[in-house]
Amino acid sequence: MKKIDHIGIAVNDIEASILLYQKLLNVPCNKIEEVESEQVKTAFFEVGESKIELLGALSPDSAIAKFLNKKPQGIHHIAFEVDDIYAEIKRLKAEGFTPLSETPKKGADNKLICFFHPRDTNGVLIEICQTIL
């Protein structure tokens, strides 16, 4: 793993949260994107070498909506940048970690992504991501 790419934060109201994080971080939101396959709207803030990703549900059936129905707003996942997502999925599976999908999916911010089950990572949802070239 190269670095922490971003920290994902689930929010109830993404528009209000964008304003809040612009004030908090003193930087503008640099990208807003909808990922239809995940039914999520994302907003990114660059903070040093890492990013903060706000996640708002586009549908009551989305993973973010289900998360927010169980838990309050807050950290949803930590994402780590990798050079070869396919090799890293294979390595992590061999180490006993459970991927939530067998192959990477296209995510926000021009990335291939794969999540790993929090039961294997002390309750933290882990994402690995690789920039699509």
| Residue where the block lists tokens 């911010």 | 109
Domains located in the chain, CATH noted: 3-131 (3.10.180.10)
Angle at 112 between CA 109 and CA 113, to 5 degrees: 95
Q: Any idea which residue has 């549900």 for tokens?
A: 57
Q: What is the mean pLDDT of the chain?
A: 96
15: left (phi over 0), alpha (psi -120 to 50) or beta: alpha
Residue 133: per-residue pLDDT: 86
Give the pLDDT mean for 28-44: 96
Q: Does the model's pTM come out above 0.85?
A: yes
Q: What is the mean pLDDT of residues 64-78?
A: 96
Q: pLDDT > 90: what percent of the chain?
A: 98
Neighbours of 72 (CB within 10 A): 7
Instruction: For residue range 100-133, list pLDDT tens digits in order.
Output: 999 999 999 999 999 999 999 999 999 999 999 8
